[in-house]
A and B are shown apart, each in its own frame.
Chain A
Amino acid sequence: MAVIVKQVELSWLDRTYFWPIFKGMVITMRHFLRQITTRTKDRYTVQYPDMKREMPEGYRGLHELKRFEDGAIKCVACFMCAEACPARCITIQAEEFSDLNLTQGFEEKRPAIFKIDMLRCIYCGYCEEACPKDAIWLRKDYDLAAYDRLSMQFGKWDLMNTYADADQKDRITMDPSPSTQTKAGLE
């Protein structure tokens, strides 16, 4: 099929080249002046390590395991997230603990190990949807990188502390109440 190329009729002024070139130069100069007088933070380019873009609502980034005010994990180790996970990146090992405390009501099961393989995770957010306790959230961190594969295996305490600094919470490395097995082992 033949394509008819539309010929643009140039005026004599355009055919001199100099006038259109001059117009073009005015345009580029305008861009130059605008860009050079704009402050860095107002420019289109985000100076990445120094400045970070605020991610939109609903962005699915790094996971966080939520906790109660006393530091106890909200997760009850029901394995729903592990089941929902299409990438099979969540590993949970449950444990029991007997000290009933007020915030936790009657629940007495929690994960001893809660591991997410960040190299396999596809950040689909199904775990967040599956969770009956709202214990796992996907938040807005996107700059997840490491020098070796092992440090991309996030354990229970890594996940509980991922947003501790951002939310001004204490970093915790211990459950407030010991597990029954540990107790039994100690006695």
Chain B
Amino acid sequence: MDQLSALLHMSPATLWMAFKVVLVFAGPLTLAALMTWVERRGSAMIQDRIGPNRAALFGKWRLMGLPQLAADGIKAFMKEDLVPPHAHKFLFWLTPILAFLPAALGFAVIPFGQSFQSGGQTYHLSLLDPGNGMGMLYPLAIGATAVYGVLVAAWSSNNKWAILGGMRASAQMVSYELGMSLAVISIFMTTGGYDPHQIIAAQHGMWNVGPQFVGFLVFFTCMFAETNRLPFDFAEGESEIVAGYFTEFGSMKFALMYLSEFIHLVTASALIVTLYFGGWRVPFVANPGVLLSVAAFLGKTLFFCWVFVWVRWTLPRFRYDQLMKMGWKVMLPLSLANFLFHAFLMFRRG
């Protein structure tokens, strides 16, 4: 590390930061692209189909349908970029960025491996080092701004389906955020801090999913609502509002918004892993080291990504009133009860 940074005339910290920026940006993006493949092939397998398997590299190597990603990407870039005549041009162009940015930013604080020492300096495997003052509040705040992507997309399209989808999606995201935040707060409380490094350190010996199982269930359910995935994908609802808030979006704009949903998915999985499943911790190993810890984090995250896909192809969509009822009358009281229960336990312990 020191030699390489000397070669590039950079301080080791700067080099490490640049490396992390690339990793944290490209990692979730790659995972998200792979998730589109997992989603399509996995759903096919669940439904006893086969799925896209005919795209081939140079017409030769099919690689289980993976070249379909490249084919879709090329298609998205080459397609005509249509802006409907009555759309708000500026906002319409801005929307994919608004949708993509929060998704890409959300990963910044999540530690994806154990910190290590090298040359008398500690390197942290998260984009923002511990003690940055934002901690776990940052992904929650960034996740909340994802609503703007949805709303602006809906508004700028000037389309009834889009606005219906956008309104429903934003109402849903806002109402599920409460339950989710309360579930996270009870974690902050038992940890005694809101820094992800602290939260992971506190999960030594026992993952949070054990003592906070109810909180986990609430948080997990709310994550489905936040990422706009089945059974809560009211933003789309093919049967009633076509494609919801991105009805009018085509070519790369659509691809970007579609991709940002998958990045949300990856980030949501990473959040679940960090908050409830010990982050990079490996069971029965106190100090797993860099490689093993990164592998453990990746494995857990991928598992939860798969659970998102798995649930999507198991459950039908809720009705809108059921969704609202569940958000306000079940999730919020449940996470409030969880919060009060843990507060009471802490009070008893003194």
Chain A residues engaging chain B, CB cutoff 8 angstroms: 18, 21, 24-25, 27-29, 31-32, 34-36, 40, 43-45, 47
Contact = CB atoms under 8 A, between A and B. Distances in A.
B45 A32 contact: yes
Contacts of B45: 31-32, 35-36
> Interface SS of chain A: helix, strand, loop or mixed?
helix
A1 B315 CA distance: 32
B314 interface: yes
B272 to A, nearest CB: 16
Nearest to A27: B314
Given A28-B313, A44-B48, 18 more contacts: A21-B311, A24-B314, A24-B315, A25-B310, A25-B314, A28-B310, A31-B47, A31-B48, A32-B42, A32-B45, A35-B44, A35-B46, A35-B48, A36-B45, A43-B50, A45-B49, A45-B50, A47-B50
A18 B310 CA distance: 14
- Among the interface residues A24, A29, A47, which one has the most CB atoms of the partner chain B within 10 A? A24
Given A21-B315, A24-B314, A25-B310, A32 B46 contact: yes
B343 to A, nearest CB: 24
B241 interface: no
A40 B315 CA distance: 27
- Among the interface residues A29, A31, A40, which one has the most CB atoms of the partner chain B within 10 A? A31
Interface string B35-60: 00000001011111110000000000
Top-7 shortest CB links A-B:
A35-B45, A28-B314, A24-B314, A32-B46, A45-B50, A32-B45, A28-B46
Contacts of A28: 46, 310, 313-314
B325 to A, nearest CB: 12
Nearest to A36: B45
Given A21-B314, A21-B315, A31 B46 contact: yes
B97 interface: no
A31 B45 CA distance: 7
- Among the interface residues B47, B313, B314, which one has the most CB atoms of the partner chain A within 10 A? B314
- Among the interface residues B46, B310, B315, which one has the most CB atoms of the partner chain A within 10 A? B46
Interface string B296-329: 0000000000000011011100000000000000
Contacts of B310: 25, 28-29, 32
B202 interface: no
Contacts of B48: 31, 34-35, 43-44
A53 to B, nearest CB: 15
Nearest to A43: B50
A21 B217 CA distance: 13
27 contacts: A18-B217, A21-B314, A21-B315, A24-B315, A25-B310, A25-B314, A27-B314, A28-B310, A28-B313, A28-B314, A29-B310, A31-B45, A31-B46, A31-B47, A32-B45, A32-B46, A32-B310, A34-B48, A35-B44, A35-B45, A35-B46, A35-B48, A36-B45, A40-B50, A43-B48, A43-B50, A45-B50
A68 to B, nearest CB: 44
Contacts of A27: 314
Contacts of A24: 314-315
A28 B44 CA distance: 11
Contacts of B311: 21, 25
Contacts of A18: 217
Contacts of B47: 31
Contacts of A29: 46, 310
Contacts of B42: 32
A30 to B, nearest CB: 10
A63 B254 CA distance: 49
Contacts of A44: 48
Contacts of B313: 28
Nearest to A34: B48
Contacts of B44: 35
Nearest to B231: A21
Interface string B43-85: 0111111100000000000000000000000000000000000
A150 to B, nearest CB: 29
A19 to B, nearest CB: 12
A25 B311 CA distance: 7
B323 to A, nearest CB: 12
Nearest to A20: B315
A5 to B, nearest CB: 15
Contacts of A45: 49-50
A176 B229 CA distance: 71
Interface in B199-249: 217
Contacts of B50: 40, 43, 45, 47
Contacts of A36: 45
